[in-house]
Amino acid sequence: MVHFDLTGRVAIVTGGSKGLGLEMARTLASLGADIVIACRNASEGEQAATEIRKIGRKSIALDVDVQDVGAIYRMVQSVKEKFGKIDILINNAGAVSVNAALEVSEEEWNKVVDTNLKGVFFCAQAVAKVMKEQNYGKIINISSVAGRIGQLNIAPYCASKAGVINLTKAFAKEWAPYKINVNSIAPSYIKTNMNEASLSNEAYLKSVLSLIPLKRIGETNDLSGTVALLASEASNYITGQTIYIDGGALA
């Protein structure tokens, strides 16, 4: 369908060098978008950009820590100079610290909240200033089901992802006059390199599957359809929403 065609669009994917980020970058590229991979590991970022270029799209990698507001604004300026515009932002960069709430340090709290919430805010702010000039844009924030329900031993993560959900609503209302759609995707358990070790534990996997009606762990490509929708003109009348991709866990 023509509504899903992203030919000529320019997308930034933070945390785009691997896992969910790379899969979402592939999805956008397959629909015609040129991709900016923003991540903290330059070599991994360049590997991802090389893969995107093999799909036939333009792609560059930028070394960016989303905890650094100055770095975010330098990224946006670089993309604007290189491509002339920014049509899509996927706020995917994230961090988690597994620790009992009674033991969480200030350093742990700051790393998780600054990456997951502060980073989302300032990446969106910087990109929205460009999108406002264009009178068009699609921003997709990656939250989590942990932003909807409390989970053991990841309290800062739960707090930050809940913040992303409400921040998405606030952005959507403020930026609607500029034709900027802002939505959120909240996955449940998705198999990535970050959780591969824990999911290989049979007892842990069994406990997780007991919470999921579809009785399987999600794959990174389970987000692809929703990303395609929210990044394209097919979602022009959708804003301020959070879509849960959780195998029915919240049903």
Q: Is residue 201 part of a domain?
A: no
Q: Is residue 175 part of a domain?
A: yes
Q: Is residue 251 part of a domain?
A: no
Q: Is residue 250 part of a domain?
A: no
Q: Is residue 204 part of a domain?
A: no
Q: By C-alpha distance, which of 17, 23, 9, 8 is closest to 37?
A: 17
Q: Is residue 226 part of a domain?
A: yes
State residue 198's pLDDT score: 79
Model pTM score: 0.96
Interval 92-117 mean pLDDT: 97
**Residue pLDDT, tens place only, 107-146:** 999 999 999 999 999 999 999 999 999 999 999 999 999 9
**Residue pLDDT, tens place only, 148-175:** 999 999 999 999 999 999 999 999 999 9
Q: Is residue 131 part of a domain?
A: yes
The CATH number covering residue 180 comes to 3.40.50.720
Q: Is 157 a catalytic residue?
A: yes
Range of the domain at 49: 2-192+219-245
State residue 1's pLDDT score: 59
Q: Is residue 58 pLDDT above 90, yes or no?
A: yes
Q: Is residue 197 pLDDT above 80, yes or no?
A: no
- Check 157, 189, 204, 244 and give the catalytic one: 157
3-state secondary structure the chain: CHHHCCCCCEEEEECCCCHHHHHHHHHHHHCCCEEEEEECCHHHHHHHHHHHHHHCCCEEEEECCCCCHHHHHHHHHHHHHHHCCCCEEEECCCCCCCCCHHHCCHHHHHHHHHHHHHHHHHHHHHHHHHHHHHCCEEEEEECCHHHCCCCCCCHHHHHHHHHHHHHHHHHHHHHHHHCEEEEEEEECCECCCCCHHHHCCHHHHHHHHCCCCCCCCECHHHHHHHHHHHHCHHHCCCCCCEEEECCCCCC
For the chain, the domain total comes to 1
